[in-house]
Chain A
Amino acid sequence: MGQMGRMGPMGLMYKYIWLVPLLPLAGAAINGILGRRFRFSEQLIGGIAVGTVALSFIISLTAVVSYGFGSGEAQWPKPYVTTQAAFNWIPAGAVEQTLGQAEASPTIPGANQPAPVLKGKASLLNIQWSYQLDPLSCIFMLVVTGVGLCIFVFATGYMHGETGFYRFFAYMGLFMFSMLVLVMGSNFVMMFVGWEGVGLCSYLLIGYYFNKQEAANASRKAFITNRVGDFGFMLAIFGVIATFGTSQYADVVAKAAGYPVEPLGHWGLMSWIALGLMIGACGKSAQFPLHVWLPDAMAGPTPVSALIHAATMVTAGLYMLTRTNVIFQHSQTMMLVVALVGAFTAIFAATIGITQNDIKKVLAYSTVSQLGFMFLACGVGAFVIGIFHVMTHAFFKALMFLGSGSVIHGMHHEQDMRKMGGLKKYMPITYLTFCAGWLAICGIIPFSGFWSKDEILWNAASTTIIPLGWLVWLVGSIAAMCTAFYMTRLMAMTFWGEERFREHAHSMEHEGHAQKKEHATPHHDAHVPHESPRSMWVPLVVLAVLATIGGFVGISTAFTGGTHVGGRMNIVNWLDPVIWNAETKSFGHPEEGKTERPAEYPPLSALGKGESESSHAGFNLAHTIESAVHSETLTEWVFIIISLVVAGAGIGLGFLFYVKSPGLADVWAARLAPLYKASYNKYWIDEFYGLAITRRTMDLARGVFEFDSQIVDGGVNGTAWLTRLTSKVTGLTDKYFVDGLVNTIANFVVSLMSPIVRAAQTGLTQNYALVMVIGLLIAVALYFIKSS
């Protein structure tokens, strides 16, 4: 696979990407193994952790620059696979492509090309440990190491004084390693290794305060829920290997592109593989049926929530979806499923977020909701925009989580927003940076969230890849309004309004951070919030800048005259080669960056010829409007304005309820009591799972235990009893019958023979010698007789 034929001298820059995952692992190993024994100081542990991640970030940055813009450009957009540090990891030998063979037989209705026939083909499966640099992994590398670096720096301040300081950074380093293996691996099996690795680190870090029952339960819940998803993912990997005979992305993607597209309702090979992948993505990215673990995961330390449960790990599902977009695009059914799951999760989580009082819970449901948006984007075929939202979301959600961490730190480990209020006076930097995140997530121009969310909604409205685009758009817009509303509520309850923290006596044991004794130092009043140290607000500022301007890499075409400006700096142009185009049945778009039509909107480019073609998709909102105004750009502007109005309405409602007339919220909560209760109790999903799955599983376990202890053990014990009984009978038979017979016969023979034989044994040596001599004489005599 080593495609390193044409490598200039600058190729050296990205020759060392194998160091990127390795460095955090080395840091984690040093901290984890030596940190406790040699009682490393916090400066040393933090230095090692931050240093290795910073180095990783620098290597990633130089590699990406060299790959996309430097002299490594010659390679672009062909994925660069490093094999220098790689080894043949699993030389599995011949694999028969059983599934691919079976696929050859049926003729799929609507398929315009025959499936490639792989008659009994067996291929050599050799899974390599190698890293891949391509447009997609570039973005994730930079996000993971860059945002990770900010969070590591923040964590050195936030975790100050914890007893398990070294443990925390060892886990975090291990997480960085796993996440980088996940996004940089060149095959599905490596992705799975990273996938499981991040799951493990998530488990370890959620359960960081393992002496808290709540955290221990949450970590188990996260792990078990993820296992459900991993099961689907594993099946999908098996399916991929059985179908394509390889797990290397480059080969899989190339082969999958040759399969026919499976129309809506047809469950072919691609749909099943995509279903497995989707289940895996749902587990990791907390989509609707498997979302329950993410809010509980907030029991971990806040930097963990920011890094793992907002910025990086939970976006692994999106990475996987985009990585396998060829497979997904070959199954229209699964595209619809992805879009609907995403849309439902978006609104579902957003409505829960409205009523939560724990600041981290609000952000957690917000994360679930935003991940729903990303799935929605992938489902409507805008994989690029999904990844764009991953990126902007990483910026602003990491920013807000760190901001909430700063608030929690400043409030002496108080997370209940009802006990906050008016904090902007005490924590100005946190407040200002949080504002950037707030405006970004609400989708206010020109903050980063606006660009990605607007693109998602626009793509949902204008898609022809799936039907029901208008429904997805509608749901997404309502979810966006809810988002704006609950984020404004969060701002109002935390930073604005009256200061409520004095009313509530602070209790140290409330958060289980009782080991943090330094907060009781006399230099400040324990009840008045304070601004966080520099190691905490510097990352906030960096992330705030990114959250503000980060969206410009995906600036909407409506602003730039219908073209994607900026060359490869534009995320659409950058990611295009990775995305399979269902229209042209090839990767990327032919007239990249020059086309009049925005390249990422295949629906519209198909519009002229395709009224009848897209008729199967039913009502299409964007097309209806476009046919009314006769301008694509104008249509886009309509949607931009709609999304801005929606965001403004959400913010306005938030202001009205929580700033202008704070009593209003309670009035409406009482008025909509059933809805409020449902939302406050998270639609009783946890209770439902507890009743329908956990309890049933326990019942099953008890039943199996009963079966085991009664029937199986009874059987075993019964067999033992039976054996004892038979052995007793046999023993008696042996003792009295067999032995008796033997003894009788022996006695008889002995009494018969012994007088005769006994006479020979005189005991006199001379007798024996005489016998010998006589024998000798006989022998000699015989000899002579014979010879004569």
Chain B
Amino acid sequence: MIHLTPSLALIFQEASRAATALESIKHPDLSKFLVIAAILFIIGVAGVLTRRNLLVIFMSIELILNAANLNFIAFSRYLQDTGRGDPLAGQIFTIFVIVVAAAEAAIGLGIVIALYRNRETIWVDEIDLMKW
């Protein structure tokens, strides 16, 4: 029986770890999601500020939006776990944001095409019509 003790301890150890993992799946840690979202947001902002290609700027904007979406989902789940607030509101908001982003992308790409046809470029440092 005595040689079974380490393995039993291991099993218990493993079992408690699995339980903890299960627990963390059931009740995920909010801060991790927020960190990921913040990283995504910063990547997006950096892209918007630094890239010259209009299409890439667009993609960066999508990253910003998705960072916001991730926040919505995370908070939604968090509120669901702690039993406070309406659990579905954040998720539905996300759907809205996706739809609006799709529409925005359609219009934005239209603008890009129109811009290209007029000025033969989509590099933003060459588009300075607003200069005094």
Contacts and interface: CB of A to CB of B under 8 A. Distances in A.
Contacts of A763: 128-132
Q: Which of A758, A765, A773 has the most CB of B within 10 A?
A: A765
Contacts of A770: 49
Interface footprint category on A: 10 to 19
Interface footprint category on B: 10 to 19
Given A764-B124, A764-B125, A769 B131 contact: no
Contacts of A766: 48-50, 124-125
A764 to B, nearest CB: 5
Contacts of B45: 773
Interface in A737-773: 758, 761-766, 769-770, 773
A769 B49 contact: yes
A783 to B, nearest CB: 15
Contacts of A773: 45, 49
A769 B130 contact: no
A766 B127 CA distance: 10
Contacts of A761: 130-132
Nearest to B125: A764
A89 B80 CA distance: 82
Contacts of B128: 762-764
A536 B130 CA distance: 102
Contacts of A762: 128, 131
A763 B128 CA distance: 4
Contacts of A765: 124, 127, 130
A494 to B, nearest CB: 109
Nearest to A764: B128
A773 B60 CA distance: 15
Interface string B53-89: 0000000000000000000000000000000000000
Contacts of A758: 132
Contacts of A764: 124-125, 127-128, 131
B126 to A, nearest CB: 9
A54 B34 CA distance: 108
B38 to A, nearest CB: 12
Interface string B90-131: 000000000000000000000000000000000011011111
Contacts of A769: 48-49
Interface string A367-378: 000000000000
Nearest to A759: B132
A310 B60 CA distance: 111
A773 B46 CA distance: 10
A766 B45 CA distance: 11
A249 B107 CA distance: 91
A765 B123 CA distance: 11
Nearest to B57: A766
A758 B130 CA distance: 12
Contacts of B49: 766, 769-770, 773
Nearest to B51: A766
B56 to A, nearest CB: 12
A369 to B, nearest CB: 104
Contacts of B50: 766
A745 B13 CA distance: 85
A761 B124 CA distance: 15
Interface in B3-47: 45
Contacts of B127: 764-765
A763 B131 CA distance: 4
Nearest to A754: B132
Nearest to A774: B49
B60 to A, nearest CB: 11
A763 B129 CA distance: 6
A770 B51 CA distance: 12
A162 to B, nearest CB: 86
A770 B45 CA distance: 9
Nearest to B54: A765
A770 B132 CA distance: 18
A647 B48 CA distance: 130
Nearest to B48: A769
Contacts of B132: 758, 761, 763
A777 to B, nearest CB: 10
Nearest to A758: B132
B35 to A, nearest CB: 16
A762 to B, nearest CB: 6
B121 to A, nearest CB: 14
B49 to A, nearest CB: 5
Nearest to B49: A770
A766 B48 CA distance: 7
Nearest to A762: B131
A762 B127 CA distance: 10
A100 B79 CA distance: 94
16 contacts: A758-B132, A761-B130, A761-B131, A761-B132, A762-B131, A763-B129, A763-B131, A763-B132, A764-B124, A764-B127, A764-B131, A765-B124, A766-B48, A766-B49, A766-B50, A769-B49
Interface of A: 758, 761-766, 769-770, 773
Which 5 pairs from chain A and chain B are nearest by CB?
A763-B131, A763-B128, A763-B130, A761-B132, A758-B132
Given A758-B132, A762-B131, A763-B129, 5 more contacts: A761-B132, A764-B125, A764-B128, A766-B50, A769-B49
